[in-house]
Amino acid sequence: MLVEDLLKNNYLITPPAYYLLEPHYESSFSLAELIKFAKSKGTFIIDASIAEEFLRGKGLISTGIPKEIEPSKPSEFRLDNMVARSSEELGSKAQTSNSEKDTVESYPEKLPGETSYISTGTDVETGVEPTSYPKINSLDASVSEGGSSVSTGTPVVEDSSETAELEGLQASSEGLPVEMEPSFDGDPDEVVEAVSTPEDEYDAYSEYENGNGDTRPVIYGDYGVPVKYIEEEVPEDTGKTYSVYDDITIAPKEGFTYRAAEIPEDARVVFDVKNVKFSPPRAKNAAGKEGEFLVASYRSFFRSRLRKMRSILRENPEIGGIIDIGKLSYVRSEGDVTIVGMVNDKRETAKGYVLELEDTTGRVKVFINREREDSKLVMNLMHNAVIAVRGRYSGRGMIFADRIFIPDVPRFKRNKPPLKEKVYAILLSDIHVGSNKFCEEAFFKFLDWLNGDVENDAHAELVSRIKYIIFGGDVVDGVGIYPGQYDELAIPDIFDQYEAFANLLKNVPRHIHMFIGPGNHDAARTALPQPGFYEEYARPLYRLKNATIISNPAVIRLHGRDFLIAHGRGIEDVVNEIPNRSHHRPAEAMLDLLKLRHLAPTFGGKVPIAPDPEDLLVIESVPDLFQTGHVHVMDYRIYNGVFLLNSGTWQAQTEFQKMVNIVPTPARVPIIDVETARLRAVVRFDQFCEGV
């Protein structure tokens, strides 16, 4: 409420200031008092220092720290009325003690080194029924194409020639729930109160003690916001013994011929977040505040999105001249206009749908009658997605729309020259090494298979032509990701998890080049996009000679074919916003993202977005193949020449997943024909995965 009230009066507030003021708002001070105080200070941005001074003047605090820290509710983000928000919400609510004498003391010592917590966000995990080894589902170079509408409104006709059996590839159960947020299991009556400390006294972790002498660590997120309180610490002497697979050595089978070893490698990373150089916002004067930089960065972020999407929409020949929303008042009411804007709001009325669109010059309401064909697109639009609208401007701030255009993918693509020889790539994701549900034996069998231990000539032909393996994130299980995870960790140390995964990959034949990217379980930046693994944790991966570390997202060009690789967290927001979407059918959610040409359109939803000055999640160039993971269910389809694949997982169902009815489809190896960018075959090792 405080954020909305300030926005209406053209005032901004930073997250630290919000945490200070919100508990006292309306009960101890009014909006008018706060605005009057900010006006006396000559600022329209209320930051932590302004908030502390105001609360001290009201006699509400003496130290500048509120007695209760509430998780913030994301407010609507607008281009012209910016509100600085954290990319993550607080994971839990800290409560005050019943005793007035309870106090909080801060300690400058760092968190003890023997326990490592990596805050890598939330997780969804999912699964399937066992079959015989190694079962291979041979497929033609085509798969069934999903019907939908392109931006011109022309329905896409299914091509009966592009069909293949889906047996063994689709999830067997329905109703997969939305990903659970991390939380803690502590007593809600216990006191947990944070105290701010100088940056040079603390690492990413700090310890706080309540009045009862109970000390707990709090983790700070990427932008200095406390995101999770760890209620339980791992015992020092756990008694766990585990292997990091340093004794596993698998040699290529004697006499086995690798045709791929003779084929010249033609692979390069054409887009990687690490290679993008940003120009950070500049301070207007020496008194610039942190919140001002955050607001300026997000303003640049959304302007970048609008600019890129406008360029994509202009490629549609049906979209004519585009006018800025702020110039609509100069347009004659009887003529049609076309605008491009970001979807701030959508709602259904008795006669149709009302959208609110915004660009850098203003906002406008758009009404489309449900009798219009394009009205069917409205419910598949996500908040903060960018679309184009054509219709008649009423002169009263309303456009009566005839057409709605989404960025979409062109129906026709240029054919690419054929390759001299067949070459294959394996696309994997969500390995989760370190979990006691990691399909260890199945992965060993997979490595044996890669090294030539095959049963027949069909398998031998596949293995001999495998040239690349792509890992799309969550290569390890991480630590402290979901409640009770420690009890399900076979390897409880994050450093050892990465060492174990690297030791496994050392058994991949040397002629196979690997591309490895991060996910939300990995030691990497939580917010999207993720530049890569933190090298201090994942150093063993960086030392692999036949591996390249990529970002999330990244685009890899294999023999002239572009593979868009993303971990797939944007699927969460699709399932949350668009009706009839499920984690059991991730390819449908991927298709929605592809049509909107963005990997995570919604700001302030389940997926944290970093305040980078440029939006790197826009799908500017149409790929030949789009790969995700994250939801642990293998699924695929073709849309307008683009092959969409969710590559499943290598983790069986955990106890936490059983409680929330998440069913994975583990230990399946999708093999892609690089020339056609289509699924060649699926080899299954799930019968060796315990618990499936």
The pTM score is 0.69
Q: Is there a contact between 651 and 434 (Cβ–Cβ < 8 Å)?
A: no
pLDDT band of residue 241 (cuts 50, 70, 90) is confident
pLDDT band of residue 231 (cuts 50, 70, 90) is very low
Cα gap 54→11, rounded to integer Å? 15
Sign of torsion over alpha carbons 3, 7, 10, 14: positive
For the purposes of burial, counting CB atoms within 10 Å of the CB of 77, is it exposed (0-12), middle (13-18) or buried (19 or more)? buried
At which residue do the structure tokens 């399946």 appear? 668
Mean pLDDT, range 567-594, rounded to an integer:
95
Buried b (16+ CB within 10 A) or exposed e, 145-181: beebbbbebeeeeeeeebebeeebbebeeeebeebbe
Tokens of 226: 């406390």
Model pLDDT, residue 112 = 33
Q: Which of 137-146, 236-245, 435-444 has the lowest mean pLDDT?
A: 137-146
Tokens of 532: 């890569």
- Within 10 angstroms of residue 623's Cβ, the number of other Cβ atoms is 22
How far is residue 28 CA from its own chain's centroid? 39
Of 588, 531, 559, 240, the residue nearest 422 (C-alpha) = 559
Residue 167, pLDDT above cutoff 60: no
Mean pLDDT, range 309-332, rounded to an integer:
91
Residue 10, pLDDT above cutoff 80: no
Mean pLDDT, range 270-295, rounded to an integer:
80
Residue 350, pLDDT above cutoff 80: yes
Residues 6+ apart with CB under 8 A from 112: none
Residue 549, pLDDT above cutoff 50: yes
Residues 6+ apart with CB under 8 A from 49: 289
Model pLDDT, residue 137 = 53
Model pLDDT, residue 35 = 86
Dump pLDDT digits (tens) for 115-152: 332 333 333 333 333 333 355 554 433 333 443 333 33
pLDDT band of residue 66 (cuts 50, 70, 90) is very low
What is the share, in percent, of the chain residues with pLDDT greater than 70?
73
Cα gap 306→91, rounded to integer Å? 31
**108 vs 433, more confident:** 433
pLDDT band of residue 691 (cuts 50, 70, 90) is confident
Pairing between β-strand 215-220 and β-strand 205-209 as defined by DSSP bridges: antiparallel
Mean pLDDT, range 539-562, rounded to an integer:
97
**354 vs 15, more confident:** 354
The side-by-side arrangement of strands in the sheet containing 642-647 is: 267-272, 554-558, 561-565, 625-628, 642-647, 634-639
Cα gap 472→519, rounded to integer Å? 7
Per-position DSSP letters for 39-81, written without gaps between them:
HHTT-SEE-HHHHHHHHHHTTS-SSS--S-BPPPPPPPP-SSS
Q: Which of 295-299, 474-478, 574-578, 655-659 has the lowest mean pLDDT?
A: 655-659
Secondary structure (H, E, C), 116-130: CCCCCCCECCCECCC
Q: Which of 227-241, 355-369, 405-419, 524-538 has the lowest mean pLDDT?
A: 227-241
Highest mean pLDDT among 258-272, 406-420, 651-665 belongs to 258-272
**292 vs 318, more confident:** 318
Query: Could you tell me if residue 641 is left (phi over 0), alpha (psi between -120 and 50 degrees) or otherwise beta?
Result: left
Sign of torsion over alpha carbons 333, 339, 341, 346: positive
Mean pLDDT, range 279-292, rounded to an integer:
70
Model pLDDT, residue 660 = 65
Largest CA distance in the chain: 83
pLDDT band of residue 281 (cuts 50, 70, 90) is confident
Q: Is residue 609 helix, strand or coil?
A: strand
Q: Tell me the C-alpha to C-alpha distance, in Å, between residue 79 and each of 302, 344, 356, 407, 417.
A: 7, 10, 13, 20, 44
Cα gap 177→91, rounded to integer Å? 19
Domains and their CATH numbers in the chain: 317-405 (2.40.50.140)
Mean pLDDT, range 603-618, rounded to an integer:
93
Of 465, 456, 353, 473, the residue nearest 401 (C-alpha) = 353
Cα gap 209→191, rounded to integer Å? 9
What is the share, in percent, of the chain residues with pLDDT greater than 90?
54
Residue 96, pLDDT above cutoff 90: no
pLDDT band of residue 198 (cuts 50, 70, 90) is very low
Model pLDDT, residue 284 = 67
Mean pLDDT, range 566-590, rounded to an integer:
94
Mean pLDDT, range 181-185, rounded to an integer:
31
Model pLDDT, residue 228 = 45
Model pLDDT, residue 490 = 95
Q: Is there a contact between 90 and 47 (Cβ–Cβ < 8 Å)?
A: no
Model pLDDT, residue 452 = 96
What is the chain's mean pLDDT, rounded? 78
Model pLDDT, residue 128 = 36
For the purposes of burial, counting CB atoms within 10 Å of the CB of 571, is it exposed (0-12), middle (13-18) or buried (19 or more)? buried
Tokens of 614: 């440029």
Residue 73, pLDDT above cutoff 50: no
Residues 6+ apart with CB under 8 A from 613: 278, 279, 280, 281, 297, 300, 301, 304
Half-sphere exposure of 214 (CA within 13 A, CB side): 17
Model pLDDT, residue 24 = 85
The single-letter DSSP state of residue 274 is: G
Half-sphere exposure of 313 (CA within 13 A, CB side): 26
Q: Which of 78-82, 282-286, 302-306, 551-555 has the lowest mean pLDDT?
A: 78-82
Cα gap 628→570, rounded to integer Å? 10
Dump pLDDT digits (tens) for 470-485: 999 999 999 988 777 8
> Helices (DSSP H) in 465-601: which residue ranges?
494-505, 535-542, 570-577, 586-596
